[in-house]
Structure 1
């Protein structure tokens, strides 16, 4: 076995306190590190970015309009030469950003095509999505398995990318595992894209449940929902507002309630990436207020519906600088993503992990609603989650502080294999494993007696020291593949034979 940290002293009693890692695991000699060259171009509004509270847009627009045509042409040529190759559809992006401040231009004729591009560039800034770190991956089968030798599998790896200000987004990488224990990363090249928003409409029943979860259950809200119920399936929310009885609109609280409804309804988003973009070029960037300070730790799973339909789903943590909320990503192909809030008593903390299929006709998920134990929750629709039942509490020495999951349960003939994370002394994060009953996943039938993976000497340092952590692995050709974050700063890959792992687990009494 490999010792997770250096023992202090030499007598047997002190040595017994050291956490030992399972001898089954193989660390592969490959590390994915943060690349500060992976940049996006985002809207930049001077004076409105921090705590200044006063827009400086008017002065900037005036200075751009005061330049001569020759000066504008020279500046734009330099911009296109330097930044054009770094960003997909750079001209269109600058034009969209210019349109945001264009109302400050009194005479639209003053904005020639070149001056429009320059104006847009003054309200655009590059952001290195991995400027600080890349970590906490999950792995699923890639939708494209073409061109591989027999025994190989292409993986889609989701990544937590951390940039300036500790702002997290969801990035991707592609790896190939097999045949056998071999693995490689495919190049992460090409300009990044954050995609484009696509119109999407709530199902009325789901919007109703979400509004109730936010405490909006009053006559104004009911009037709006009733109007939607009587409209076509894609009924417009603003039309429902316009059709409200005047007596309700005159109530002092009506304006605040309507603003709340509009805010909640705006938490549904659909993002579409260009068809010719590679997976590693796509970045899921915050689009709603609840995730304005970060999208963290996506746990992806390939979900199979009862009719055999397959799609990709992921839970992730949305952070607005004050509160955290779990949200759901769904995608048929990892190119178009819909993101929606999760609600209900169990959807209150980090670390929800979806089961890859229905169990007993219901959606199931692991959760950590109390912050320290692993629970099981159920849902009829995958959005509204019931109160959790405790499944696994801190027991072993490497999980004295808290336990949680390291991704979605993996179905095996012996049971649901759940990779766990345990937090022990000195806030050391290790990866463990438990086995849940296939028919009754609330029952733990076995557990690995020691960590599967714990920080060794070369993994102790990082953005957050003493951490190995995963958001999900998978089984291929009899081997569990486990991508994992190291020190919240880089990503490694480990693997272990599944049969040997299961044989090493001890029955839970």
Structure 2
């Protein structure tokens, strides 16, 4: 069955906007107690120069700064003061700052950063925790998106929108303003840090940007795969993502109930060593479950008792068809259907071309593969081949609405588009695993202490 029979691309595009900026640390990036002697010396030179200004000149300068950045940020004066307070430990003994001096000093240790100047891609979609105002027969949603700015630093940002009864998608207008989350709690662990970041309830969800806050994330928070998780009758939104420090990666977990407060935690265990972990939306047999790639090529089913430790696994799928000969991976969390778990997958084929297909897993025992796509149902169209990374279509998570799958997907790692998929027709197009010998991968039990393998590219 042709993909055009059941796939409907919508004329709805989310493109990066370099005019959207946040203010972030400028100069010393480390905590004041960790700064080098040179960094502290330079910081104090700036303080000395500010303190040398007479009161009238300082007042005029602060007024000029505020006028220059008027309308570009919320609560800018408070951000100036907060940054000065952060730096206080690095400053040498000085006379007490006036309020004007403190705000000026803070302004010199901040800069604007265009967080989505290069790309806005790899979306995932979940139901909105607040369904007020949802269209009749439809629902409200939250879209998470990976944003990339100068230096190829990735952050996590959001959009909201609605799905109509017929499956058509609309995205709410994006705010001109944006701000970075505030770090509220930091708890050291042997394997890293648990951190909590929060946003003010003021402003739109599209203003919220989660920027790297730990050493493991210093070069990026990549490819969050959000899912609405059923936890003892309440909904918790969780996502695995890749933390990148410029040299290596680590799988981490973020969770929230309201998209205002977020907890971020490292994952551990031999099965949490690669990219692309995707959490099931509920426990399976009393345990947390994920689909993940441990070996840069194949997909595995893994379980955890505590959500944070992932060891061993069952080899589930290997590249079978030409469009996925290089590697396969997840395209978000499994979606529960009456027929089983629908897992969207990506495959990498000739000339590193990324396409999207699907697999159907048994609902009671997801290690059993019932069917899979012989051909991908989303490939880069001629108009979708150019961008930051050519020949790539990719998603970090779709959701079910009635008899359709709502699929946000990225185009060439540059911008996002939306499509809808008719579930019945998609399932009909898939090849049953007993239809041809060797069509599906027989599960193989792996030892719990399997050695960590090299990182993959996505």
Would you call these one fold, judging by a TM-score over 0.5? yes
Match for 1:464 among 379, 389, 393? Answer: 389
Hey, what's the Cα distance between the residues in 1 that align with 2:353 and 2:202? 42
Match for 1:191 among 165, 177, 198? Answer: 177
Match for 1:450 among 364, 369, 375? Answer: 375
Paired residue secondary structure (1:119) = helix
Paired residue secondary structure (1:268) = strand
1:303 aligned onto 2:290: no
CA deviation vs aligned residue, 1:15-50 (integer Å, no higher than 9, x gap) = xxxxxx55421110011000112211111116989x
Match for 2:106 among 120, 124, 131? Answer: 120
Deviation at 1:68, TM superposition (A): 2.2
The answer (yes or no) to whether the contact 1:154–1:176 under 8 Å persists in 2 is yes
The answer (yes or no) to whether the contact 1:47–1:54 under 8 Å persists in 2 is no
The answer (yes or no) to whether the contact 2:162–2:169 under 8 Å persists in 1 is yes
Hey, what's the Cα distance between the residues in 2 that align with 1:396 and 1:53? 58
CA deviation vs aligned residue, 1:450-473 (integer Å, no higher than 9, x gap) = 111000100000000000000000
What residue number does 2:410 align with? 485
1:284 aligned onto 2:224: no
CA deviation vs aligned residue, 1:56-107 (integer Å, no higher than 9, x gap) = 2222222212222222111111222232432222111111212234453533
Which structure has more helix as a fraction of its residues? 1
1:24 aligned onto 2:6: yes
1:476 aligned onto 2:458: no
Paired residue secondary structure (1:387) = strand
What residue number does 1:104 align with? 91
* TM-score normalized by the length of structure 1: 0.81
Q: Which moved more, 1:128-137 or 1:173-182?
A: 173-182
Deviation at 1:143, TM superposition (A): 0.9
What residue number does 2:58 align with? 72
Deviation at 1:201, TM superposition (A): 5.5
Hey, what's the Cα distance between the residues in 2 that align with 1:22 and 1:396? 20
Residues 137-216 of structure 1: matches in 2 within 5 Å?
Answer: 137-199=123-185, 211=190
> Are the structure 2 counterparts of residues 47 and 468 from structure 1 closer, same or farther at C-alpha, using a change threshold of 3 Å?
closer
* TM-score normalized by the length of structure 2: 0.89
| Residue segments in structure 1 that go unaligned for 5+ positions in a row | 3-20, 215-263
Hey, what's the Cα distance between the residues in 2 that align with 1:160 and 1:378? 27
Structure with larger Rg: 1
Paired residue secondary structure (2:65) = helix
Deviation at 1:190, TM superposition (A): 4.8
Hey, what's the Cα distance between the residues in 1 that align with 2:354 and 2:265? 30
Which structure has more strand as a fraction of its residues? 2
The answer (yes or no) to whether the contact 2:225–2:239 under 8 Å persists in 1 is yes
Hey, what's the Cα distance between the residues in 1 that align with 2:424 and 2:211? 39
Residues 338-487 of structure 1: matches in 2 within 5 Å?
Answer: 338-487=263-412
The answer (yes or no) to whether the contact 2:392–2:413 under 8 Å persists in 1 is yes
